[in-house]
Amino acid sequence: MKKPKRILAVSDIHGCTNKLVNVLDKAKYAPGEDLLVLLGDYIDRGPQSYETMQLVKYLVASGAIALLGNHEDMAMMAAKHEPGGLGLWLRNGGRETIKSYARNNAVISDDLEFLESLRLFYETEDYIFVHAGLDPIWQESSKTDRSVALWIRKEWHECNYIGRPVVFGHTPIKQVTTWPSGNRIAIDTGAVFYGKLSCLELPSKTVYEVGGSYE
């Protein structure tokens, strides 16, 4: 792909398929011209995890980059019958995903190969994209453990990070927030909690939002 006109980043969709469709429409996403980076947590809690996963697969086939979120990781643990995996997933919204797949005569393991293909990081010359954050000590993707990339919160938010701008989700906030230093941008605005689904445009830092119910 030639250098994109824009990078669009979206995170933490959580089964809110219509919100994803609407926010990409609002941003006038153009595959082949724009690069779309999805930061994980496509499933769980919301009503349309199956539909969201199929849309994500379609977007990836059309050139988007999809990263792994902690909710996909929990689903994989459950699908592979890892000890404690099913219980952990069910406690974190997995029941809604199971119901969504069942309504479509499918199970999450049908998408296991796709889930296993998802990367933890995507990097350009100017930005790093990750679901939750980087290791606050090493501050590099190559030295960030899988669990940190998928789960870290407070330690990442509060550390003195000095690298390339990192775009991340995972922790719901009221609005897209850029740290005063400009090198961290949080974009999970709580779509599944009757909040907004936000799309960040780079390098302009324009934010597109859709919200309210499961719009």
Look at residue 128 and tell me whether its pLDDT is greater than 70.
yes
**Strand (E) positions, 67-132?**
121-123, 128-130
Residue 79 lies in a domain: yes
Give yes or no for a contact between 176 and 170, defined as CB atoms under 8 angstroms apart.
no
Answer whether the bond into residue 47 is a cis peptide, omega within 30°: no
What's the structural domain count of the chain? 1
Residue 161 lies in a domain: no
What range does the domain containing 30 cover? 6-121+169-211
Residue 137 lies in a domain: no
Q: What is the pLDDT of residue 194?
A: 75
Residue 131 lies in a domain: no
Residue 107's domain is classified under what CATH number? 3.60.21.10
Rg (C-alpha) for the chain, rounded Å, is 16
Ramachandran region, residue 62 (left: φ > 0; alpha: ψ -120 to 50; beta: rest):
alpha
**pTM score, two decimals?**
0.95
Name the band, by pLDDT with cuts 50, 70 and 90, for residue 215: very low
Residue 31 lies in a domain: yes
Q: What 8-state DSSP symbol labels residue 171? A: S
- How far is it, in rounded angstroms, from Cα 186 to Cα 172? 9
In 10 A of CB 140, how many CB atoms?
13
Query: Using one digit for the tens of pLDDT, what is the confidence trace for 198-210?
Result: 999 999 999 999 9
